[in-house]
Amino acid sequence: MMKKACLSLPGIACLSGVIISCTGSKNEEPLPNIIYIIADDLGYGDIGCYGQKKFTTPNIDRLASEGMLFTQHYSGTTVSAPSRSSLMTGMHTGHTPIRGNKEWEPEGQWPLPAASVTIAEMLKTKGYTTGGFGKWGLGFIDTEGDPNSQGFDEFFGYNCQRLAHNYYPAYLWHNHEKVLLPENDSGKTGTHSAVLIHKAALQFIEKNRDKPFFLFYPTTIPHAELYATEEYMAKHRGKYEPEKSFKGVDDGPAFRLGPYGSQPEAHAAFAAMINMLDDFVGEILMKLDELDLSEKTLVIFTSDNGPHLEAGADPGYFDSNGPLRGYKRDLYEGGIRVPMIARWPGKIKPGSRTDHISAFWDVMPTFGELTEAEVPGNIDGISFLPTLLGRKNQKQHEYLYWEFHEQGGKMAVRTENWKGVKLNINKDPQGKTELYDLSKDPGETTDVSSEFPDIVNKINEIMKQAHTRSDIFSLSFEK
């Protein structure tokens, strides 16, 4: 039977965690804890150690100085739900079940099928207690995609990614319980959701300190709307001139149901949100030190896609995509190449960097190899554990593949240093494939498709093979 443990947050009920085993590796070493922090719409250039100059991120930079920084890591795709589906299932977006931000009534997004095997389900077979804190977007309560139905013993946060646009919501979800936040009623700003979710994540670490745990922390920061608490706004107000303002939805029937609220200090708010996120990372590291868990815990920090342009966000001002072209909803590098940093004291070499080419669908097999868990046979990922541990036997991808179902339909392939991008495929599936040599042109400024027709043909063949039909998410040219 499940043994219950309680969160101390008001209005949050007890929840359960199945404990199968606390060891299980062949060499009898205890299984490491795993913390996977995924920021929301954080750009490749939004962190100090990746080149950000307008503000600092000392705690995230500390992760890099004490661990490994990946320079060529990619998200599942360029928007939230399919990117996270790719992460959870170990499949790229030509295969993963959720390939778009499709809404579900009365709330949430299209659910992961019951047959899906997630990272959380895989780790539970090795005795991990699993918790998700933040934004889910892969299935509403009591659907087959409900986080509790997909391997998570505990979930706290937003089930619906549309409602996660707003930082002062009427409620959050704790497993199947709707946790009301009356202090946010009638336009009040009593409880910033990111603060409440962060406290719950810290409590999860505290209460599972004596057994292996998997903490999946899909924070909503810095996704629009651009709201930080006044404590953080005060630190950044007036520092990013000329300031930018945004007029949003501040009342009426749609208020706090997805549309973004107004923000007269958008630059300051964005920097303040990153400051909050960085402090949250620092508090997690502090908690691990306090509980003597740092050397027992692999911490990974990344982002779900490139920087957004909504609600007053100004990625050009902050150089949020660094040297890369494009933003969220693009399949150019700026929309899908994301920061990733991994720290595991005593296992990962401090201050190391790697140009190993990897993607979200590699995370599942990496955790599988790490824990000696059985990995599903139909995934697209390749474990990057050898890279993390400094071994020489790292396997490489023949190619990486992405698809995006909005804006006319898009596909992209990376094979070695070649990047192919095809746009408007719904109208013209046989249309032009742009080609870029990322070794010479990481900013994708010069299309060289006319010079290398053989490479273009190879990429077009990969696109045909990598894309499989879906009963739910179809590109228009398939119809």
User: DSSP for 177-233?
Assistant: EEEE-GGGGGG-----HHHHHHHHHHHHHHHTTTS-EEEEE---TTSSS----HHHH
Q: How confident is the model at residue 227 (pLDDT cuts 50, 70, 90)?
A: very high
Residue 446 CA to residue 306 CA, distance in Å, equals 21
Q: Phi/psi at 277 (nearest 5 deg)?
A: -60, -45
* pLDDT at position 477: 62
* pLDDT at position 470: 80
Q: Taking residues 427-438, report their average pLDDT.
A: 94
CA within 13 Å, CB half, 132: 28
pLDDT of 8 strictly over 50: no
pLDDT of 18 strictly over 50: no
Residue 207 CA to residue 76 CA, distance in Å, equals 31
pLDDT tens-place string over residues 357-370: 999 999 999 999 99
Q: How confident is the model at residue 20 (pLDDT cuts 50, 70, 90)?
A: very low
pLDDT tens-place string over residues 376-392: 999 999 999 999 999 99
pLDDT tens-place string over residues 114-130: 999 999 999 999 999 99
Q: Taking residues 450-456, report their average pLDDT.
A: 98
**Tokens at 317, concatenated:** 């001002």
* pLDDT at position 153: 98
DSSP letter for 379, please.
Answer: -
pTM: 0.93
pLDDT tens-place string over residues 297-339: 999 999 999 999 999 999 999 999 999 999 999 999 999 999 9
Beta strand ranges found along 331-399 (DSSP E): 337-343, 352-354, 358-359
pLDDT tens-place string over residues 386-417: 999 999 999 999 999 999 999 999 999 999 99
Residue 313 CA to residue 317 CA, distance in Å, equals 9
Q: Taking residues 213-239, report their average pLDDT.
A: 97
Residue 43 CA to residue 330 CA, distance in Å, equals 12
* pLDDT at position 476: 61
Residue 225 CA to residue 261 CA, distance in Å, equals 6
pLDDT tens-place string over residues 204-213: 999 999 999 9
Residue 101 CA to residue 405 CA, distance in Å, equals 9
Most distant pair of Cα atoms in the chain: their distance: 64
Percent of the chain with pLDDT over 70: 94
* pLDDT at position 472: 77
* pLDDT at position 69: 98
pLDDT of 345 strictly over 80: yes
pLDDT tens-place string over residues 88-124: 999 999 999 999 998 999 999 999 999 999 999 999 9
pLDDT of 6 strictly over 50: no
Domains and CATH numbers, the chain: 22-397 (3.40.720.10), 398-479 (3.30.1120.10)
Q: How confident is the model at residue 479 (pLDDT cuts 50, 70, 90)?
A: low
* pLDDT at position 24: 45
Of 159, 41, 54, nearest in space to 111 by CA: 159
**Tokens at 380, concatenated:** 């697209």
Three-state DSSP state, 73: strand
- Residue 141 CA to its chain's centroid (Å): 21
pLDDT tens-place string over residues 248-271: 999 999 999 999 999 999 999 999
CB distance 67 to 342 below 8 Å: yes
Q: Phi/psi at 362 (nearest 5 deg)?
A: -85, -15
* pLDDT at position 469: 85
* pLDDT at position 9: 44
* pLDDT at position 25: 44
Residue 227 CA to residue 213 CA, distance in Å, equals 31
Q: Taking residues 43-49, report their average pLDDT.
A: 98
What is the pLDDT of the chain when averaged over all its residues?
A: 93
Q: How confident is the model at residue 471 (pLDDT cuts 50, 70, 90)?
A: confident
